Structure 1
Amino acid sequence: MYQNGGTIKSLLDKVQEKNLVLPAIQREFVWKPEQICSLFDSLLQGYPIGTFLYWKIKPENRNAYQFYEFVQNYHQRDASHCPRLIDIPEHEFVAVLDGQQRVSSLNIGLNGSYHQKIAGKWWSSDDAFPEKLLYLNLLGEPNLDEGTEYDFQFLTKEKAKNSNNTAHWFLVSRIMTEDLDDLTDELDEFIDDKSLVKIARNNIRLLFRTIHDKPLISYYEEENQSLERVLSIFIRMNSGGTPLSYSDLLLSIAVAQWSNLDAREEIHSLVDELNSIGDGFAYSKDLVLKAGLMLSDIGSVGFKVENFNKTNMEKLESNWEAIRDSLRLATSLLASFGFNGQNLRADSAILPIAYFLHFHKRTNEYLSKSQYATDRENLRLWLVKSLLKASGIWGSGLDTLLTGIRAVIQKSDGKVFPVEKIEAFMTSRGKSLKFEEEEIEELAELEYGNKRTYALLSVLFSGFDFSHHFHVDHIYPKSLFSKKLLRQEGLNEEQIDKYQILVNSLANLQLLEGTINNEKRQKMPADWYKLIWPDETARNLHLERQAITYLPESLLDFEQFCFQRKETLISRINQVLNQS
C-alpha cells in the first residue's frame, strides 16, 4: 500500500539522521547537475516526482547486510561513491530500493555541493574540480526551449556574486535553515526595482513552501527481510528503465552472492585505483565487471543472467585478488605506452592484455625487464593497430571477440603475447588488422584532438620513453595561424582558411615531452630546433626521426611543408602497420 512520506524537509532530516539509507545492491549516484536542476524545476512547477520504494530493516537484521549513506558533497574524482554506513541505527530504519537518484539530488541541492571536472583540465589537478552549489535565479525567465520555468544552476560562490536586476542568485540551501521573513526582507538591499523584489519574494516563498510545507513524498514499503526477495523486487522495478544499466543489476546479484568480500566495495575501489594510474584513465565498473568474467573463465564474457549464478560468483570472488593484480599490471603497462583516459580510444582493448598477464601469471617484472622488451613492443603495436581501425575493433560483437581471443591465449605456450594467432582469429571474425591503401590515406588525414592521433604517432616515431608526459604537439605552433598574423604574411582569405585547417592536420603534428612543449610556444620550428639541437648532425637526426625532411623558415611555404611530410608519413604508416 502506498503511504504519504511527508515533506522534502522531513525526508532529508531522515537522511541526515541515518534513518533513511541505501542497501548495498543500489548502484552509484549518476545524475548530472542539469538533471538535479530539472528535478528542482519540476518541484516548483508542481509536477509529481514519482513514488519511492522503501525496505524496512528490522533491528535484528541491522548487521546482516551492508548499507550506505546518501551522497551529499559529490566530487567526480575524490568522492563519487556513496560512503559506507558505519554507525548503523540500533532501531528500525529504512533502505531505499527505488529513488536513490532523486533523494541524493535533493540532498546535494539542499545540503551539499557538486564538484564536476572542467573539460580540458588534468584529472590530477585539484583546480579542475571547483566546488559548485545550487542557486536559483530569483529573477529568471522561463526557458521555453528546455521546458523549464525556473532557472536553477550549479555555480561557484564567486560566480553567484554576479547579481543584478536581471539575475539575482539565491543559495538554495539557505531555505533549509534560515527564517523565511529574513530571506525575503533582505531582498530590498540587493534589488532596486520594487516590482522585481516582489517577483523574487514570491519565488523564495514558493521554494520554502515546496520544501517545508507540501507533502510531496509518497512511498511503498516492503517489510520482507529476505535479501533474495528484495533483490527480485529491485530488479523488477529497475530493469524497465533505461538509465539503470543491465550491468548494475548484475552487480547487485554479485553483491548478494559474495560471502567473504564486499563486491561493491571491491569493484568500486578497484575502478578508482586503476583510474589513478599514470596520467589517469576513465574505466567504468562495467569494464572491471567484464574483466572479472573474462579472467575467471566464466561463460561467454557477456552480461547475461546465467553468467551470474552462485557458482560463477563464488569463482569470481575466489579469483578476485589475482584479477585485481592483473588489471593493475595491464593498466600500468598501458600507462608506460603513454595511454590515458584522454587518448585511449577503447577501454575494452585492455581485456585481452589483462587476460594474457593473468593466465600466464606475469608479474610486475613484465613492465621493466629487458627479456620482455621485444614482447612488450609487439604487444604495443598490436594494441595500437586495434585502436586505429576506423571500423572499431572493440565495438559490435565484443563478447564473441573477447571469448575467442581468450581461447587463443589459453592455447598459447605463454612465452610471448601470441600476436600472430590472435590476429588470425580476429581476421576470421571480420576484424582484420591489415590496413588497406584507403585506410592508410584516412589515417594520414587524422587531426589534432582525434583519439587515434596519439596512438598513431606513438608507433610512427621510435625511441620515446612514454612513461614521461608526452603531448601531441603542433610543429608550427597554432598561435602563429591567427587570421591577423596570416594576413600580415600576405595570404589571401582562401589561403588563410586552408592554413587554419592544415595547422591541425597530422602533417603538422608530432609527439613532444610536456615540459619541452611549454618552452616551444610561438617559436618558428626552424629557430626552435636550432636552439634545442645546436649540433647540426644531432638536429638532422631528430628531424629525420620525426619524418621532417623539409622545414621552411617562412609560413608562406607551410602548405608545401604539409604536403611533403604527409607523403613521408603515408610511407611510414604503411611500413609500420603492415610491416612492409
Structure 2
Amino acid sequence: MRISQILDKVDSGDIALPEFQRGYVWTRDQVRGFFQSLYRGYPIGGFLTWTTKADSTQARGGGAGRDGTVHLLLDGQQRVTTLYGVTHGRPPRFFEGNSATLTGLHFHLETEVFEFYAPAKMRDNPLWVDVTSLLRNGIGGHLLSLTQLADGDTGAMAAYMERLNRITQIKDRDVHIDEVTGDDKTIDVVVEIFNRVNSGGTKLSKGDLALAAVCASWPEARPTMNEALAAWSDAGFDFKLDWLLRNVNAVVTGEAQFSKLADVEVTAFQAGLKETIDSVGYLLNALGGRLGLDHRRVLSGRGAFPVMSRLLHRHGGRFPDALTRDRLFYWYVHSFLWGRHTGATETALNQDLQALDEGGVDLLIEVLRRSRGGRLEVSPDDFVGSSMGSRFYPLLYMLTRVHGAQDLESGLPLRAGMLGRLNSLQVHHIFPKARLREYGYSSAEINAVANFCFLTQDTNLRVGARKPAEYLPEITMRAPGALESQWIPMVPELWRIENYPDFLAARRELLSCAANDFLETLHDGPAPVDLFTTSRTSLPSTAVAVAEPSSLDDVPGLAGLLRDIREAEFAAPELDSEVTDPRTGDAITVAAAYWPHGLQDEVGGPVVLVTDTTSAEQEALEASDYRVFHSADALRRYVRNIRADHAVP
C-alpha cells in the first residue's frame, strides 16, 4: 500500500492509531533521520495492524469500518505519525506529544540534508526548502526560485528538480502492511505477535493493547485517565496508565487479565473508571494518614492497589470498619516488603483478587503468609539493603511517621506540614558519608538503610559531617529520648567510626522489632485514628517534602549523563531504584539509574546503570535481558551512538 493511501485511511478512520500509554516520543533527530532514509530509498520497515471490533464510530483517530471493525496500527505508530505530521503540517487527531517535533523540517538543495528551521541560516535562503510546503503543494510553487537559483545552468536546474521530485514521491512509496485478524486473536495472542515482530524495540504490554481497544469505543478514555494521573502527580504521586487500567480492570471484572475488559460495555468501563479514581484518592489519604506514606518515593507496593481498590468496590467505596482498614494495610505493607506484585503480576494478582472475593482480608493475609512459607515477620537482616531504592526504605519512613520520631535537635515529633523555612524533612546519614569514605567503607555500606534517619533541614545543617561520637552525646543532653525515638543504639562505643558495622547490626535489630510491633498492631486491632471523615475524592493537601540524597552525589559523571539524556529528549530515569527479576519479582540490585522501558520507545529494552555488582547480580541482570552499564561515561557513549544512528541513516 502506498504511503499516501495509508495517510488517507488515517484521515478517513479506516486506520486508527491506538491510544497506547506512550504518546509520540520521537525526537527531531529521529524525524530528520527518518526522512533522510526515505529520501535515499533506504528500507523503513513494514507496518502491523490489528483488526478488532469497534462499538462506535467515534474512535480516537478512527472509526468503525463497514463491517463494524477498526484497524489499530500496532507497529509503525511513530513512523505514521511523523509522515502525517510533516506531510500535513499539523499533528493527527490522535496526537499526544511535542508538536514542534513535526514542524519546520527543511531540505537543502545542494547538500541534500534535512534540518529543522533555524532563522539565522535559513531565512531568505532559497536553497532551504520547506518540506511540508513541498509535500502539500508540489513543486509548482518552487519553479521560480529554482530558475533563479540555477541562473541558466540547465544541469543545476535538472538536479534541483530531481531532488525535489524524490521528496514528493515519498508519498507514492509502497510499504508492506501485515494484518492480524480473526476471533482467535485475543489480546494475549496479539501482544505475543507484536513483541516477536518488534523484538529489538520496546515491548508492547497487554495494557497498551487493552487501552487501545477501549479507546476505539470511547475516545475520551485516555484523556480522562491522564487527567486523573496529572492530579495525583500534582499531589506528589506518579502513576502510569497501565497501573490505572489495572485498577479499573480489578474493580470492574474482579480479575487481573486485561483480556477480560473485552467483554465490558463502555458504560460499565466509564462507571468503573470514575469509581476507581475516587477509590485511589481515598486510599492515598488513608495511607498518608495511617501509615505516613505521603509522597512518591515512599509509596511502595503500587501493584497492590488493584486489590485494595477491589475491596473498596465491594464495600461501596469506603472501609467498612477500622479493623478491616488496618488489616488491609498490614497485608499491603507485607506485600511490598516481599515483592508480592513485582514479578508475574497477573498470577499473584489473580490469586489475591480471588482470595479477597472469597474470604475477605483474612484470607488475603493467609495467602500471602503461605507464599512466605508461613512467616510474615521482619528480621534484622532484611534491613541490610542500601539506598532509597530498597524496599525497606519506605518502611523506615513509615516507622518514623507513625511512631512520632523526634527531631534530634529540637526533640519535636517529625510530622507532615511542619512550618518554617528550614523545617522540611531531610534524609540524614547518622554516620556522615565523608567520614565513612575516609575509613574505606563501600558505597553500599555508606548508604545502608540502617544508616538513615529523618531530620529537619535545620538540624541536618547543624550536624553537618561531624562524627557521631561528637554530636550524639550532645543530643542525649539537649533532647532526651530523641535518639531512642529514632532507634539509634544507646551504646556510645557503637558511635565510633571503627565500630560502624556493629552499629548497623544493632540498629537493624531495633528497627526490626519496631516494625514487627507496629505491624502486629495493625493486624490485631483497630487504630485510634479515624479516617472515615476523609473525602473520597480529595487528595493530601500537604505532603512531606523530603530532600533525599541520590546517586547524583556519588556516581561520577551522572549529572552530565542526565543532561545528555534531556538534550536527546530521551526518557528520564528512576534514580536509586530497585531492579527486580521480571519472572519472580525478587530484588536483584539497586541501580543508580534505571530505565524500565528503555531509553526511548523503539530504541531497545530496559537499561540499568549500576556501579558495583556481584557476579550473581550481574548474571541475574543479564538473564533478565537488562542492558547493564557500570559507569556513567559508558552509558553516555551509548546515548551518543544512538543519537548519531538516528541523525545519519
Name the SS for the 1:543 alignment partner: helix
Q: Could you say which residue in structure 1 is the equivalent of 2:153? A: none
Selected match of 2:261 from 288, 308, 317: 308
Shift of 1:510: 1.4
Selected match of 2:485 from 521, 542, 545: 545
- CA, structure 1 residues 382+112, in 2 after alignment: closer, same or farther (shift >3 Å)? farther
- Asked whether the equivalents of residues 338 and 467 of structure 1 are also in contact (C-alpha less than 8 Å), the reply is no
- Asked whether the equivalents of residues 473 and 512 of structure 1 are also in contact (C-alpha less than 8 Å), the reply is yes
CA distance in 2, matches of 1:216, 1:96: 22
Q: Could you say which residue in structure 1 is the equivalent of 2:79? A: 102
One-letter amino acid of the structure 2 residue matched with residue 48 of structure 1: P
- Asked whether the equivalents of residues 435 and 467 of structure 2 are also in contact (C-alpha less than 8 Å), the reply is no
- CA, structure 1 residues 523+288, in 2 after alignment: closer, same or farther (shift >3 Å)? same
Q: Could you say which residue in structure 2 is the equivalent of 1:361? A: 316
- CA, structure 1 residues 231+481, in 2 after alignment: closer, same or farther (shift >3 Å)? farther
One-letter amino acid of the structure 2 residue matched with residue 287 of structure 1: W
Shift of 1:451: 3.8
Q: Could you say which residue in structure 2 is the equivalent of 1:3? A: 2
Q: Does 1:281 align with 2:214?
A: no
CA distance in 1, matches of 2:162, 2:426: 52
- CA, structure 1 residues 279+452, in 2 after alignment: closer, same or farther (shift >3 Å)? same
Shift of 1:67: 4.9
- CA, structure 1 residues 562+379, in 2 after alignment: closer, same or farther (shift >3 Å)? farther
- CA, structure 1 residues 475+42, in 2 after alignment: closer, same or farther (shift >3 Å)? farther
CA distance in 2, matches of 1:254, 1:245: 15
- CA, structure 1 residues 229+175, in 2 after alignment: closer, same or farther (shift >3 Å)? same
Shift of 1:348: 0.9
CA distance in 1, matches of 2:262, 2:187: 17
Q: Does 1:246 align with 2:206?
A: yes
Shift of 1:560: 1.7
Moved more, 560-569 or 44-53: 44-53
Q: Could you say which residue in structure 1 is the equivalent of 2:45? A: 50
Q: Does 1:402 align with 2:395?
A: no
Name the SS for the 1:240 alignment partner: helix
Shift of 1:352: 2.1
Q: Could you say which residue in structure 2 is the equivalent of 1:504? A: 447
Shift of 1:509: 0.9
Task: Identify the structure with bigger relative contact order (alpha carbons < 8 Å, sequence gap 6+).
Answer: 2
- Asked whether the equivalents of residues 54 and 219 of structure 1 are also in contact (C-alpha less than 8 Å), the reply is no
Identical aligned pairs, as a percentage?
19
Q: Could you say which residue in structure 2 is the equivalent of 1:576? A: 515
Superposed CA RMSD:
5.9
Q: Could you say which residue in structure 1 is the equivalent of 2:58? A: 66
- CA, structure 1 residues 459+233, in 2 after alignment: closer, same or farther (shift >3 Å)? closer
Q: Could you say which residue in structure 2 is the equivalent of 1:58? A: none
TM-score of the two chains, using structure 1 as the length reference: 0.58
Shift of 1:537: 5.4
One-letter amino acid of the structure 2 residue matched with residue 302 of structure 1: Q
Q: Does 1:425 align with 2:367?
A: yes
Q: Does 1:448 align with 2:387?
A: yes
- CA, structure 1 residues 481+32, in 2 after alignment: closer, same or farther (shift >3 Å)? farther
Name the SS for the 2:441 alignment partner: helix
Q: Could you say which residue in structure 2 is the equivalent of 1:383? A: 332
CA distance in 2, matches of 1:521, 1:44: 63
CA distance in 2, matches of 1:362, 1:474: 41
One-letter amino acid of the structure 2 residue matched with residue 66 of structure 1: Q
Name the SS for the 1:473 alignment partner: strand
Name the SS for the 2:479 alignment partner: helix
Number of residue pairs the alignment of both structures matches: 447
Structure 2 gaps, min length 5: 64-69, 92-97, 122-127, 135-141, 146-159, 196-202, 405-413, 419-423, 521-649
Q: Does 1:465 align with 2:404?
A: no
Name the SS for the 2:384 alignment partner: coil
Shift of 1:358: 2.5
Name the SS for the 1:308 alignment partner: helix
- CA, structure 1 residues 347+430, in 2 after alignment: closer, same or farther (shift >3 Å)? same
Structure 1 gaps, min length 5: 56-62, 70-83, 86-93, 114-128, 139-149, 164-171, 183-203, 223-227
Q: Deviations over 1:6-51 (max 9, x none)?
A: 9xxx96x999xx7789747443545655793664565466422234
Shift of 1:552: 7.5
- Asked whether the equivalents of residues 54 and 95 of structure 1 are also in contact (C-alpha less than 8 Å), the reply is yes
Moved more, 27-36 or 395-404: 27-36
Q: Deviations over 1:408-459 (max 9, x none)?
A: 444668xxxx3x542212233457552475xx41x22211132414222124
- Asked whether the equivalents of residues 277 and 332 of structure 1 are also in contact (C-alpha less than 8 Å), the reply is no
CA distance in 1, matches of 2:246, 2:429: 38
CA distance in 1, matches of 2:164, 2:491: 68
CA distance in 2, matches of 1:474, 1:397: 35
- CA, structure 1 residues 421+244, in 2 after alignment: closer, same or farther (shift >3 Å)? closer
Q: Deviations over 1:40-70 (max 9, x none)?
A: 5654664222345799xxxxxxx9623546x
Q: Does 1:295 align with 2:295?
A: no
Q: Could you say which residue in structure 2 is the equivalent of 1:218? A: 174
Matches within 5 A, 1:12-27: 23=16, 25-27=18-20
- Asked whether the equivalents of residues 51 and 218 of structure 1 are also in contact (C-alpha less than 8 Å), the reply is no
Q: Could you say which residue in structure 2 is the equivalent of 1:73? A: none
CA distance in 2, matches of 1:97, 1:470: 48
Name the SS for the 2:275 alignment partner: helix
Matches within 5 A, 1:101-500: 101-105=78-82, 176=132, 211-212=167-168, 214-215=170-171, 217-218=173-174, 240-242=193-195, 243-256=203-216, 262-273=220-231, 275-276=232-233, 278-284=235-241, 286-298=242-254, 300-304=255-259, 307-310=260-263, 315-336=268-289, 337-338=292-293, 340-363=295-318, 372=322, 379-389=328-338, 392-410=339-357, 418=361, 420-430=362-372, 434-435=376-377, 440-441=380-381, 443-461=382-400, 462-463=403-404, 464-465=414-415, 470-478=425-433, 480-481=434-435, 495=439, 497-498=440-441, 500=443
- Asked whether the equivalents of residues 444 and 569 of structure 1 are also in contact (C-alpha less than 8 Å), the reply is yes
Shift of 1:394: 0.8
CA distance in 1, matches of 2:265, 2:367: 27
Shift of 1:388: 1.7
CA distance in 2, matches of 1:387, 1:248: 25
One-letter amino acid of the structure 2 residue matched with residue 103 of structure 1: V
- CA, structure 1 residues 473+535, in 2 after alignment: closer, same or farther (shift >3 Å)? closer
Name the SS for the 1:510 alignment partner: strand
- Asked whether the equivalents of residues 16 and 59 of structure 2 are also in contact (C-alpha less than 8 Å), the reply is yes
Selected match of 1:524 from 466, 470, 477: 466
